[in-house]
Structures are given as structure tokens and as C-alpha cells.
Chain A
Amino acid sequence: MKPIHRSYRNEDDYWRLRQFLRKVFLLNNRLEHSWHVSRWDYFRWHLFENCRVCNSLEEAVSIWETADGRIAAVLHPINPNEAFIHIHPIFRTPEFEEEVIAHAEESFSNIRPDGSRRMYVPVDENDHFRKDILKRRGYAGIGSLGWEHYRDLDAALPDVPIPPGYIIRSMGGVEEHPARSWASWLAFHSDEPEGNYDGDWSWFQNVQRAPLYRRDLDIVAATEDGQIAAFCTIYYDDATRSAVTNLVGTAAPHWRRGLGKAVVFEGMRRLQKMGCTRAFAKATDPVADALYDSTMPEKYISETWIKDYKR
């Protein structure tokens, strides 16, 4: 049955895509060959609502469906030129996957000032099926790498020392959002002048609107005077018994004290109690990769393949 393309329509699609991703995740033996449902939540509630990575979901998200309404694949960008593809394994044929990639090449807003276009497509290191398609379509270069880490939570977790002067606990109430937002700024914008921080912490309320958000899985390392030094926001999906650490960071003044490791392990201990059996994290730089090597040692590489072309 040939799936037909259509655009994302409405809120109902948001929830249908969540169920689709769960199903695909289970069919893929709980590996993230397509996104974990929590990444879709994060895409909508943080990357779209806060970071405005696209104008609207209706414009950015494409769905392929069978005539009887089963979702076969989903395509969307994060940056205008990076194609994220989520595909149901039983629909995975070279023709169909190529159709999805071709659609990205044609429809994404990736035209540069000189009229040329560049497309990035993520592909797992062992996904030769997609690599063959990409080669055929002229993808030549390999861009930045990501490291997909995970850990099965079927054994006791080690105790991790907490440096003196810090406590590890759940995120507080709304009165703590400014401190949490500032910690995020210090963690992810350490090379920018502090004056660039706009002081708007309202974005954190969107992070908390994701259906899988639980404050007791939003772990922080706090100083005695109430600063947030490190954080690990985990979304736990009890339907697949798996979780993703979507936001992990340490404020620059508190680096190299083992706080990242402490908050990740505390999160995993809590997940274990709630019945979670596998936790994931994605690293996109060597520092994060090292942190996850020490906390979630299983990993594989996610490559990003590049194609330069003209319309």
C-alpha cells in the first residue's frame, strides 16, 4: 500500500505522531533509529515554542500515510537544512525512503544567498540501507558526528560522590525558574558575554508543558545559596519504559567537579524506581560524549551526510 504525502494539520497529528514514534521505537528494539517520543515533545515544546526553529509545525512537518490512515513516515527539519526522518520499518523500502529524502531536498527552505542549497541528513553509522540511498543521490561529505548513548537499567547503579557545597535534588517551583534559566545560559552560552542574556525565563514553562515532564525527574545540583549549578531534565515514557535526558548542562563556573555525572546518575536511580529499563542521551560534542561514556557507556555514532546542489 503506497503511503501518500500530506502536511501536518493540527493538534490531533501531534498526538498521533507520538503514538507512531512509540510503535516504531518498539519495533526497532528500543533503539533510536527514529526519534524517541520525548524528542518529538522536546521538538515541539522547546525547539519550536522557545527557539522557533520553524515557523509552524503545519509548514515544517510532513507525514506519509496509507489510505487507511496508518502513518508510514514523518519528515521535518530542525535547522532549515537538516532532515529528520522517522520511518516505520515495515514501510522501509529504497523507493519510499528515497521519496522522503527527495521531498526534503525539494521542499526545505535551504537556499543560500548564492542560490545553492545544502542538505544534511542524519544516518546511523551502521545504517547502510540509508547510506546507499544517500550515495545514490549524491551525498558526499560527512558533517558533525553525534554519539547516541544508552544504558540498560537492569543492574544497581554506582554511588557517585557529590562534591562538597552542593546538593542534588528535584527542580523547585516556579520561583526557581529564573535560577534554572540562568544556569542554562551559563552552561550553553559560556563563550558569550553575560550581557547577551535577556533575563527571560518564561521559556522553562514550555519545557514543563511536555506531556512527559515530571519535576522529580528534573534533577538539579544546587549550591547552598540557591544557585543552580547543573541540571538534567529527563522525560520518561512509561509506555516504552525508556527515558531521554533532553537537557543536561553544567553552568560554566561549576565545571569539572563531577556535577554532570551526579545529576545523571541521580536521574537514572529515580528512573529505575519508576520501572524504566533504558535511558538515552545524545552527545554532539566531545565533552558531552565523555560525560555519557561515564554514565551511559553503550553507544553508536550518528553521522550527518551532506549534499550540495542547486534547484
Chain B
Amino acid sequence: MKTTMRNYRDENDYWRIRQFLREVMILNGLREFSWSVMRLDYWRGHLIANCQSSDPLEKVTCLWETGDGQIAAVLNPEDRGNAFLQVHPAFKTKELEEEMIATTEEHYAVERDGKKKVAVWTDSQDTLRLDILQARGYVKGKWTESQWRRDLDEPIPEEPVAEGYIIRALGDESELPARSWASWRGFHPDEPDEKYEGWEWYHNIQSCSLYRRDLDIVAVTGAIIAAFATFWFDDVTRTVYIEPVATVPEHQRKGLQKAILSEGLRRVQRLGAVRAFVGGYEPGPNALYASMLSPECDQYEQWVKDF
């Protein structure tokens, strides 16, 4: 069936894309060949709203629709220069993917060192997309996301908690400064403290539709948040997406993340989740996720083109 591209229009499109991603996730057998709905929420609620990683959705998102208004595909960046193709499996054809990638080159390329650069992400087994990318001159880029997953059909063993720490849900608003500071220390360990910009950004995280504070797990010692992992449970697909995950440097190597992941997985299991996902880009996190989720993962690769 012929599909037509159009730009993202309004808030209604956001909610329609969410439903589309859920449907695609189920049709893909609960695999992340397209984004999970939680990743879309996180992109908008955190990466755009807090980090300005890309322009707003209405400026950078394209939809392909059938004549009767069914969404066949969505194209969006996450940060500038990186494009993600969300494609309904029933509409996944060479022609559609070609058109989406051509749109990417036209609209998402960034200029660096006098050259235009763009990256398209793809599952490592998606031969249709890989063939198109190679034919258009793309080469494998620096980054690969290992998409770890764990089915939650067995009991999750408890992990020991290092002495002096407790694992629990994030507290109320009074604890947001500590949570924000942990995030700063966890993700910016080498930057000077004076670059820290405050904690109010966390309200945007908590306004995401799937945010549940009882799934925002922290390891605490005294009044300090030493480590954290936020679990996003989608009760439509019964899947969970874990993002972000970090430990403050001075509290690393104490098994805190194992204890947090184990606690979070038990909580989502009780709510009815059947599969959990987490993405890792570097050896340290990947080793943790392989041990706590499973050695099974999909590889989601960045392919880049200079032109």
C-alpha cells in the first residue's frame, strides 16, 4: 500500500506515535527493532526538554501514513545528526526504507569540518536496511547499542546490598536535589562542579506518562544518593525499559547497581511485566547488563555517511 510522508503536526501525533510504537513492539515479538514507547517519552521528556539534544518534535519528526491514516513509519533523531527509523513490519519495503534514508540525508545531516555527516541506526541483522546503507555509501560508525533483554518468567534472585546502603524508591520532591546531584556525578565525573545547573530538570522526567516513582530505584547512604536506575513499565506491551542507570564514582565497585537492578526487576515482575530491556554502549555497563539481564542481546548499530 502506498504511503505518503508528512511532517509531525501536533500533540495528537505524539500520542498516535506512542500507540504505533506499542503495536510495532508487539508485532516484532517484543524486540527493539523500532523504539519502545518509553524511549520516545524519554527523548521528548528528557533529551529534548532538558538537554536540547535536538529541535522539538514538530521540527524534526516525519510520519509516513497510508491513505486511510494508518502510520506506517516514523523518522526522528535523538540527538543532532543521528536518525532512527521506526517501521511497521507490514510496511517494511526497500522503497520505504530508501525514502526514509534519503529524507534523513536531506534533513538531519550536520556540518562538521566542512563536511555534511549523518548517521542512521539499524539492527545488525536487518539486511534490507544494511544493503541500502552500504549502497548509499554508509560505513559502520563508532557506536553500537547492545540491547540487553531479560524475560521475567522466573524468580529474580536478591542481590546483597553493601553495608551502609539501602535500596529503595526515590523519595518525594525534597530528594530531587540529591537525585540530580547523583546524576551529575554519575554522568559528568570529570567536569568541574561549578558547571552543575540545578535539579529542576527532574520535574520533566516525572511528568512523563509512564513515570512511576516506585520504579525509580536508588541506592542511598545517609542523605546521599549513590546510584540509581529508573524503570519505565509499559503495561500495554508488558515491557520495561531501564534508563538511565548510573553510580556516583566514589560509590562504584560495591555491587550497588546489581542490587538496584535486582530490586527493580522484582518490582516490575510483580506489576506484570514480562520482558525488560536496557541498552549499553560501553564495556563496563555491558558486562553489568549481561550478568543481570542475560547474555542475549540485539546489536543496534550506528552507520555513518560523510558527503
A residues contacting B by CB (< 8 A) are: 15, 18-19, 22, 169-170, 172-173, 208-209, 211-216, 236, 238-239, 241, 273-275
Residue B27 interfacial (CB < 8 Å): no
Across-interface contacts of B168 in A (CB, < 8 A): 173
Interface centre among A19, A22, A173, A209, by most chain B C-beta atoms within 10 angstroms, is: A173
Residue on A nearest B37 in the bound complex, by CB = A238
* A273 in contact with B207 (CB, 8 Å): yes
* B15 in contact with A211 (CB, 8 Å): no
Residue B270 interfacial (CB < 8 Å): yes
State how many angstroms separate the Cβ of B202 from the closest Cβ of chain A: 12
Across-interface contacts of B270 in A (CB, < 8 A): 209
Residue B214 interfacial (CB < 8 Å): yes
Q: CA separation between A274 and B232, bound complex, in Å?
A: 14
Q: CA separation between A212 and B238, bound complex, in Å?
A: 12
Q: CA separation between A213 and B206, bound complex, in Å?
A: 15
Name 15 interchain pairs, CB-CB below 8 A, sorted by A. A22-B236, A169-B172, A172-B172, A173-B169, A208-B214, A209-B270, A211-B271, A213-B212, A213-B214, A216-B212, A238-B209, A239-B18, A274-B208, A274-B209, A275-B15
Q: CA separation between A236 and B235, bound complex, in Å?
A: 11
Across-interface contacts of B64 in A (CB, < 8 A): none
* B207 in contact with A274 (CB, 8 Å): yes
Residue B48 interfacial (CB < 8 Å): no
Known: A211-B233, A236-B209. 8 other contacts (CB 8 A): A18-B235, A211-B272, A213-B214, A215-B212, A215-B213, A216-B211, A238-B18, A274-B211
Residue B185 interfacial (CB < 8 Å): no
* B209 in contact with A15 (CB, 8 Å): no
State how many angstroms separate the Cβ of B220 from the closest Cβ of chain A: 12
Across-interface contacts of B224 in A (CB, < 8 A): none
Chain B residues numbered 197-220 whose CB sits less than 8 Å from any CB in chain A: 206-214
Residue B149 interfacial (CB < 8 Å): no
Specify which of B22, B213, B272 is in contact with A15 (CB 8 Å cutoff). B272
* A215 in contact with B238 (CB, 8 Å): no
Across-interface contacts of A274 in B (CB, < 8 A): 207-209, 211
Q: CA separation between A274 and B41, bound complex, in Å?
A: 11
Across-interface contacts of A169 in B (CB, < 8 A): 172
State how many angstroms separate the Cβ of A3 from the closest Cβ of chain B: 23
Q: CA separation between A182 and B22, bound complex, in Å?
A: 40
Specify which of A208, A236, A239 is in contact with B236 (CB 8 Å cutoff). A239
Residue on B nearest A238 in the bound complex, by CB = B209
Residue B19 interfacial (CB < 8 Å): yes
Across-interface contacts of A15 in B (CB, < 8 A): 238, 272
Q: CA separation between A236 and B212, bound complex, in Å?
A: 11
Specify which of A18, A19, A170, A238 is in contact with B210 (CB 8 Å cutoff). A238
Chain B residues numbered 241-287 whose CB sits less than 8 Å from any CB in chain A: 270-272
| CB within 8 Å for A214 and B238 given contacts A170-B172, A173-B169, A241-B15 | no
Across-interface contacts of A275 in B (CB, < 8 A): 15, 209
* B212 in contact with A214 (CB, 8 Å): yes
* B235 in contact with A211 (CB, 8 Å): yes
Specify which of B19, B206, B235, B238 is in contact with A216 (CB 8 Å cutoff). B206
Q: CA separation between A196 and B15, bound complex, in Å?
A: 47
State how many angstroms separate the Cβ of A43 from the closest Cβ of chain B: 15
State how many angstroms separate the Cβ of B39 from the closest Cβ of chain A: 15
* B213 in contact with A170 (CB, 8 Å): yes
State how many angstroms separate the Cβ of B271 from the closest Cβ of chain A: 5
Q: CA separation between A18 and B236, bound complex, in Å?
A: 9
Across-interface contacts of B208 in A (CB, < 8 A): 274
Residue on A nearest B214 in the bound complex, by CB = A215
State how many angstroms separate the Cβ of B276 from the closest Cβ of chain A: 15
Residue on B nearest A277 in the bound complex, by CB = B15
* B235 in contact with A214 (CB, 8 Å): no
State how many angstroms separate the Cβ of A100 from the closest Cβ of chain B: 27
State how many angstroms separate the Cβ of A110 from the closest Cβ of chain B: 32
State how many angstroms separate the Cβ of A241 from the closest Cβ of chain B: 6
